[in-house]
Amino acid sequence: MIVVAIDGPSGVGKSTVGKALAASLGVPYLDTGAMYRAVGLLARRKGLALPITEADDAGALAEQAEILVTGSGGDVRTFLDGEDVSAEIREPEISRYASAVAAIPRVRRRLAARQRELALAGGGVLEGRDIGTRVVPEAAAKFFLTARPEVRARRRYEELVRKGTPQELVAVRAEMEARDAADSSRADSPLSCDGTYVVVDTSDLSAGEVVERLRQLVLGPGAG
Note the residues at the interface with ligand DC (CB under 6 A).
Answer: 10, 32-33, 36-37, 98-99, 102, 128-131, 179, 183
Nearer to ligand DC, 57 or 188 (CB): 188
Name the nearest CA neighbour of 169 among 187, 155, 190. 155
CB of 220 to ligand DC, least distance (A): 27
Measured distance CA(154)–CA(64) in Å, rounded = 37
Name the nearest CA neighbour of 106 among 28, 39, 179. 39
CB of 176 to ligand DC, least distance (A): 9
Nearer to ligand DC, 152 or 179 (CB): 179
Backbone φ/ψ region at 173: left (φ over 0), alpha (ψ -120 to 50), beta: alpha
CB of 72 to ligand DC, least distance (A): 17
CB of 68 to ligand DC, least distance (A): 16
Q: Supply the DSSP symbol for 218.
A: H
Nearer to ligand DC, 163 or 223 (CB): 163
Nearer to ligand DC, 16 or 32 (CB): 32
Nearer to ligand DC, 116 or 219 (CB): 116
Q: What is the 3-state secondary structure (H, E, C) of 85-128?
A: CCCHHHCHHHHHHHHHHCCCHHHHHHHHHHHHHHHHHHCEEEEE
Measured distance CA(220)–CA(12) in Å, rounded = 24
CB of 221 to ligand DC, least distance (A): 30
